[in-house]
Amino acid sequence: MPTKFQRARSEEQRAARRRTILDTAAAMLTEMPVAQVTLNELARRVCLAKSNVLRYFESREAVLLELLAAASRELVDHLDGSLARAVEGAAEAERPDRIADCLAEALAVRPVLCDLISAQAAVLERNVSPQVAVAYKRAALDSATALAGQIAFHLPELGEEDAFRFVGSATMVIGAVWAHAHPSAAMRAAYEADPALAALCVDFAPTLRETLEVLLSGLLARARHSRPA
């Protein structure tokens, strides 16, 4: 059983306390969806009163946004190498689909990140102060800009502005597809009871891949159309 914390006296101790809270919340997300992670349970697992957890993070949502920012940075770091491998030797016409496939594969093996993305706008951004919101949005902007730069490098005909548009749209798509691919128990029962409804039940990775392919194709077609003759 974890040892109960003593009051943090130094910045190093406070940083260690924050790290423990983040690590514990991250472990909880491997056991349960975002919606089931509560501040009470987090406090219990780190052996702190809830009021003491709030000394380090202003809310449950602030903890989860920090985890989302870190997971997004890790994804971008991973894609820095995997995108290069995905497009290696590919003809120009093949590169968009390979990029979409690489992104979908990387996200499919990161269910915690996908769950956090699906909760981001509707839940996690709602119970935070402007200071936490700014810190999170700056981190999100850094990750989006870095990923857009990678995509523009491997798909130069898309251009940097449309690469950034693609990343922003892809983020919204990821959250929506994840939510639809993980329906409630009642929805799953409905699909099982009426096979005619099966078309409404989506599989995350292939649906995401196809949607990203269409999104990239549309942006590329518009970019080609808008180029001077």
pLDDT at 228: 61
pLDDT at 6: 55
Q: What is the CA radius of gyration of the chain?
A: 20
List the chain residues with pLDDT less than 50.
1-3, 5
pLDDT digits (tens, 9 = 90+) for 100-140: 999 999 999 999 999 999 999 999 999 999 999 999 999 99
The residues near 59 (Cβ < 8 Å, ≥ 6 apart) are 39, 127, 128, 132
pLDDT at 68: 98
Distance CA 90, CA 82 (A): 14
The residue to which tokens 């518009």 are assigned: 222
Distance CA 83, CA 174 (A): 18
Query: Which pairs from 189-197 meet CB under 8 Å and 24+ separation?
Result: none
pLDDT at 229: 54
Collapsed DSSP state (helix, strand, coil) of residue 115: helix
pLDDT at 3: 44
Half-sphere exposure of 29 (CA within 13 A, CB side): 23
Note whether 202 and 181 are within 8 A (CB): yes
Distance CA 5, CA 46 (A): 8
pLDDT at 1: 41
